[in-house]
């Protein structure tokens, strides 16, 4: 039904805005407003695949002469696009060689975890969050989802009954999805909305936020929000027993099955480690020599994040794997190109909204409507809007829609736009209430262990906690990077 509504509503909204007189904005901005409105409807209703909608929006801008094709498609070659591509190839190699499973089982088999349900819940979620900081949230959830189901299966006795309360199974599945979404906030490459927000901040404000600088805010947000998630789920969904009869045994058996490290796993670990080192090295140089030092500026010019990701990905084609190289081209091209194209199309529309003056006009209009008082009120409003929108559409589309408008509103109100833009970027990754809010939620909802009412109630609690944590920590820590 939602797709059908979108198929009818999108062209209707497009035609209405195209022929409706909009005073005070140039003709290109008027035509872009019609395109952007239709794209938003299609994104929210998912009447078309999200990447197709993004490409359709860019093509429509050329057809309607919003800007020449060279300008419209320029964001598709933005350096951050190559950060996506390189990081996705590295993630693909990690998944193919089972390096993620090795890390997961190594942590879960730690002696202090033992067979206690509360500790397994904590370690399971912590591993999920840690892995999600470096590879796709969806891929992390899919991988940990299988491990979680294996643990729950091992808890059933010969009669098929589980040794733990049903609420614990719900909590284990929910922490798989929620921790993956939270963990993606730790690094710029943890989730696409991070890269999208950073792209708008750099392109429209001229403010570059290096990899390590982002982590100065992202890591504390993850630590605090994950701690609250664990405390909450552990309190409302107890296992009903102190120790699991077979939990620790299963984890140790699964780890033993992995066997010794393979040549491919060592190669992928080396390439990944080199990439992370190149991502973080400029931050350490800035701490040691200052951001105005020649060494720091040299690193930024010669090895930006996109180049570091590509160098690490290209290493995989040189280093040895179990059979041939660590990754083949056939495997590398199976990355999620849809996200790359979605980012390019959304970024193109956002850039055009500034170039045509549409964003400025929207900012002026919304400034007079929203009850924004000062920079703190702007930050709160930005986070709230991003969270609400992320519940009804994808996190990536939410970032594409909210961040450029937030920047424009802040500029129109005479406020520093970096802080609210950061808040909106991070808040776009929230959205825990519905299975359709994010693919992570959809994956775990399919387990059958999560009643919809439970997901909505626990998701709402985490949304509210996320709003408070992001507003507080962005407000306190943003001076460190800006």
Q: What is the pLDDT of residue 279?
A: 75
Count of alpha carbons within 13 Å of 128, Cβ hemisphere only? 33
Do residues 84 and 340 lie in contact, with contact meaning Cβ atoms separated by under 8 Å? yes
- SS3 for the chain is CHHHHHHHHHHHHHHHHHHCCCCCCCHHHHHHHHHHHHHHHHHHHCCCCHHHHHHHHHHHHHHCCCCCHHHHCHHHHCHHHHHHHHHHHHHHHHHHCCHHHHHHHHHHCCCCCCCCHHHHHHHHHHHHHHHHCCCCHHHHHHHHHHHHHHHHHHCECCCCCECCCHHHHHHHHHHHHHHHHHHCCCCCCCCHHHHHHHHHHHHHHCCCCCHHHHHHHHHHHHHHHHHHHHHHHHHHCCCCCCCCCCHHHHHHHHHHHHCCCCHHHHHHHHHHHHHHHHHHHHHHHHHHHCCCCHHHHHHHHHCCHHHHHHHHHHHCCCCECCCCECCCHHHHCCCCHHHHHHHHHHHHHHHHHHHCCHHHHHHHHHHCCCCCCHHHHHHHHHHHHHHHHHHHCCHHHHHHHHHHHHHHHHHHCCCCCHHHHHHHHHHCCCCCCCCCCCHHHHHHHCCCCCCHHHHHHHHHHHHHHHHHHHHHHHHHHHHHCC
Do residues 306 and 300 lie in contact, with contact meaning Cβ atoms separated by under 8 Å? no
Digitized pLDDT (tens) for each residue of the chain, 482 residues in all: 888 998 999 999 999 998 888 777 888 989 999 998 898 888 778 788 878 988 999 999 999 999 999 999 998 887 778 877 887 888 788 878 888 778 767 766 777 776 677 888 898 899 889 888 877 677 677 667 767 776 676 565 555 566 667 788 888 889 988 999 899 898 887 787 888 888 888 888 888 888 788 888 999 999 999 999 999 988 887 766 666 655 567 667 777 888 889 999 999 999 988 887 887 677 677 667 765 678 877 877 788 778 888 999 999 999 998 888 999 999 999 887 887 787 788 778 877 877 887 766 766 665 556 666 778 888 888 888 888 777 766 677 778 778 888 888 888 778 888 889 999 999 988 878 777 567 777 777 767 788 877 888 888 999 999 999 999 999 998 887 76
What's the CA gap between 333 and 245, in Å, rounded?
Answer: 44
Identify the residue whose tokens are 């408070």.
468
Q: In sequence order, what are the residues at sequence separation of 6 or more whose Cβ sits closer than 8 angstroms to the Cβ of residue 122?
A: 230, 234
Q: What is the pLDDT of residue 416?
A: 85
Do residues 425 and 379 lie in contact, with contact meaning Cβ atoms separated by under 8 Å? no
Burial 105-131 (b: 16+ CB within 10 A, else e): bebbbeeebbbbbbbbbbbbbbbbbbb
Q: What is the pLDDT of residue 57?
A: 93
Q: In sequence order, what are the residues at sequence separation of 6 or more whose Cβ sits closer than 8 angstroms to the Cβ of residue 291?
A: none
Q: What is the largest CA-CA distance in the chain?
A: 73
Tokens for 306, please give them: 């996109």
Is the pTM higher than 0.85? The answer reads no
Do residues 95 and 139 lie in contact, with contact meaning Cβ atoms separated by under 8 Å? yes
Q: What is the pLDDT of residue 69?
A: 94
What is the number of other CB atoms lying within 10 angstroms of the CB of residue 273?
A: 11
What's the CA gap between 51 and 297, in Å, rounded?
Answer: 35
Identify the residue whose tokens are 């969050």.
129
What's the CA gap between 33 and 35, in Å, rounded?
Answer: 5
How many Å separate Cα 457 from the centre of its chain?
22
* Backbone torsion region of residue 339, taken as left when φ is above 0, otherwise alpha when ψ lies between -120 and 50, otherwise beta: alpha
Q: What is the pLDDT of residue 313?
A: 92
């Amino acid at each position: 039904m939602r797709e059908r509504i979108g198929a009818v509503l999108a062209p209707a909204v497009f035609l209405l805005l195209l022929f409706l007189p909009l005073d005070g904005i140039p003709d290109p901005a008027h035509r872009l407003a019609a395109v952007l409105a239709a794209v938003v409807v299609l994104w929210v209703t998912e009447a078309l695949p999200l990447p197709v909608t993004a490409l359709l929006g860019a093509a429509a801008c050329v057809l309607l002469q919003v800007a020449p094709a060279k300008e419209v498609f320029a964001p598709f070659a933005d350096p951050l696009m190559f950060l996506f591509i390189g990081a996705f190839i590295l993630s693909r190699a990690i998944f193919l060689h089972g390096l993620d499973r090795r890390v997961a089982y190594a942590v879960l088999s730690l002696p202090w975890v033992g067979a206690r349900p509360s500790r397994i819940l904590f370690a399971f979620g912590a591993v999920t969050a840690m892995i999600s900081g470096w590879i796709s949230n969806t891929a992390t959830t899919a991988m940990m989802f299988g491990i979680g189901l294996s643990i729950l299966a091992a808890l059933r006795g010969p009669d098929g009954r589980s040794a733990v309360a049903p609420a614990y199974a719900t909590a284990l599945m929910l922490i798989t999805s929620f921790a993956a979404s939270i963990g993606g906030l730790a690094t710029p490459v943890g989730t696409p909305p991070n890269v999208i927000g950073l792209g708008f901040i750099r392109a429209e404000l001229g403010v570059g936020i290096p990899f390590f600088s982002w982590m100065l805010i992202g890591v504390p947000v993850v630590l605090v929000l994950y701690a609250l998630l664990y405390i909450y789920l552990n309190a409302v969904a107890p296992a009903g027993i102190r120790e699991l009869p077979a939990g620790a045994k299963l984890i140790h058996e699964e780890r033993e099955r992995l066997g010794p490290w393979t040549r491919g796993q060592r190669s992928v670990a080396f390439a990944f480690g080199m990439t992370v080192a190149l991502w973080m090295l400029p931050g350490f140089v800035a701490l040691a020599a200052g951001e105005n030092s020649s060494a720091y500026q040299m690193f930024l010019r010669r090895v930006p994040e996109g180049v570091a990701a590509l160098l690490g990905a290209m290493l995989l084609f040189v280093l040895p794997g179990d059979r041939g190289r660590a990754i083949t081209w056939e495997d590398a091209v199976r990355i999620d190109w849809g996200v790359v194209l979605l980012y390019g199309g959304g970024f193109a529309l956002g850039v055009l909204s500034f170039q045509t003056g549409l964003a400025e006009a929207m900012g002026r209009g919304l400034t007079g409507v929203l009850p924004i008082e000062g920079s703190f009120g702007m930050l709160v409003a930005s986070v709230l809007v991003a969270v609400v929108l992320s519940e009804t559409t994808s996190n990536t589309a939410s970032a594409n829609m909210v961040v450029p408008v937030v920047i424009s509103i802040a500029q129109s109100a005479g406020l520093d736009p970096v802080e609210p833009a950061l808040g909106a970027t991070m808040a776009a990754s929230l959205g825990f209430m519905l299975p359709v809010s994010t693919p992570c939620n959809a994956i775990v909802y399919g387990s059958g262990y999560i009643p919809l009412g439970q997901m909505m109630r626990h998701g709402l609690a985490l949304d509210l906690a996320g709003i408070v944590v992001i507003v507080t920590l962005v407000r306190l820590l943003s001076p460190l990077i800006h």
